[in-house]
Amino acid sequence: MGKMRTLSTNNIVRRRSTRGAFTFVELMVVTLLIALLAGSSIRGSVQTFRKMQVERAAREVYLAAQFARIQAIESGRSCQVILDPKTRSISVTAMVKKGPQLVRNAYSRPYQFAEDVNYERIDITPTRPPEIMTDEETMNTTITFRPDGSADGAVVQIGNGRTHWSVYISSATGSVRTENGVVREQSPSVVIDLDRL
């Protein structure tokens, strides 16, 4: 008869335990893959967040201009949108008997951009002749909306160096629109869409 091989129980236990465990190299490879995947997703999340900050800043400019236009027409008094590049902020003022007053309500409030977001370009073309403009209107960072629906034509570019949004304000109708990207080369006075006919 042939020889039968017998295995001790110790050998069986050893074989099972070595087959079921991971080696140190395998654990390091898995850890490295997890770290690489986490790093790439975090990088992508940060870039998306920065794009959203620029888009939100452009939306705030858009909403402030829309509010100022409606307020000017409804109240019969001029309203102004003030763009402040130093503080990277935007606010709306309404003309009252005592002079311009900061508007702060449920529909409009001063807003400051995130730290990386800036005004990259501000071009404002007043619709009134310089000799009859007030001191507030002569500032190159103030957009005036009038009760007749007209406004100072303006082109504003907001960005963080990588992402850019542009806001266009029509001088004829005071209507506002935003576009993703840098400002198309045109004069703000040319932006006449007559509410997109």
- Quick: pLDDT tens for 32-42: 888 888 777 77
Alpha-carbon distances, residue 18 vs 21, 24, 26, 156 (angstroms): 6, 13, 14, 67
Question: In angstroms, rounded to a whole number, what is the distance separating the alpha carbons of residues 109 and 6?
Answer: 86
Q: Mean pLDDT over residues 67-87, rounded?
A: 92
Element (H, E) at 27: helix 24-75
Instruction: Pick the range with the lowest mean pLDDT from 31-40, 72-81, 133-142, 168-177.
Output: 133-142
Whole-number percent of the chain with pLDDT over 90: 39
For residue 22, pLDDT over 80 is answered with no
Determine which helix (DSSP H) or strand (DSSP E) holds 15, and give its type and residue range.
helix 9-20
DSSP reduced 3-state for 3? coil
Of 3.30.460.10, 3.10.20.90, 3.20.20.140, 3.55.40.10, which CATH number belongs to 47-196?
A: 3.55.40.10
Q: What is the pLDDT of residue 190?
A: 46
Average pLDDT rounded to a whole number, residues 76-83:
92
Question: Where does the pLDDT of residue 191 fall: very low under 50, low under 70, confident under 90, or very high at 90 and above?
Answer: very low
Give percent helix, percent strand, percent coil of the chain, each to the nearest 5.
Answer: 40, 25, 35
Structure-token match 């508007």, residue found: 103
Burial of 173 (0-12, 13-18, 19+ CB in 10 A): middle
Residue 165's DSSP bridge partners are 158, 180
Q: Which two tokens stand for residue 117?
A: 């977001």
Confidence at residue 97, expressed as pLDDT on a 0 to 100 scale = 77
pTM of the model: 0.69
- Helix, strand or coil, per DSSP, at residue 190: helix
Query: What pLDDT is recorded for position 139?
Result: 53
Per DSSP, the three-state class of 156 is strand
What's the rounded Cα separation, in Å, for the pair 122 and 168? 10
